[in-house]
Amino acid sequence: MSDDDLAGADLIARIEEQERRLQFSRFDNDDAWRLGVLLADTARSRGLPVTIDIRRAGQQLFHVALPGTAPDNDRWIDRKVRVVERFQASSYLVGRRLAAKDRALDAAQGVDPADYAAHGGAFPIRIRDVGVVGAVTVSGLPQADDHALVVEVLESFLR
């Protein structure tokens, strides 16, 4: 079932379940490299025009821009990552929760929309019993597809 088939509350519940399930026991620079390469290989094999970014504690550990991307993808990544850092949840979940309340991510939430984007693609790197330590982000596809690619590869990586 695709995200397009799910209504607001069901989609939010699905994303919340993904975040509960897709947690790490540890996450270091080598993990970032392996995860990034797996994401890049998956995207490349499908001919997807995406930029991939992995950060931990504010440090960029992996970044690649595949053919068909543009500098604007890097700006979208920065904005999505800020959402994960501020709200401790995926950028897609934050956006869907706001949409369910017919609200937007703006000054009412204490942020400048020029610096934050509640669009799918940034997923929290959460370590069990620790919390969110970083984000893995994809930019270049429609938001549900950016999110789905990250989730698919995290599921494979964490097996």
**DSSP-derived secondary structure letter, 7:** -
Band of residue 109 on the pLDDT scale cut at 50, 70, 90:
confident
Q: What is the pLDDT of residues 12-53, one digit of tens each?
A: 999 999 999 999 999 999 999 999 999 999 999 999 999 999
Q: Averaged over 144-159, what is the pLDDT? A: 97
CA dist., res. 139 & res. 120, Å (int): 9
**CATH 3.30.450.150: does it fit domain 3-157?**
yes
Residue 65 near residue 137, CB atoms below 8 Å: no
What pLDDT was estimated at residue 6? 53
What pLDDT does 1 receive? 43
- pLDDT value of position 70: 97
Candidates 31, 28, 76; CA nearest to 51 is: 76
pLDDT digits (tens, 9 = 90+) for 56-102: 999 999 999 999 999 999 999 999 999 999 999 999 999 999 999 99
What are the structural domain ranges in the chain? 3-157
Does the pLDDT at position 5 exceed 50? Answer: no
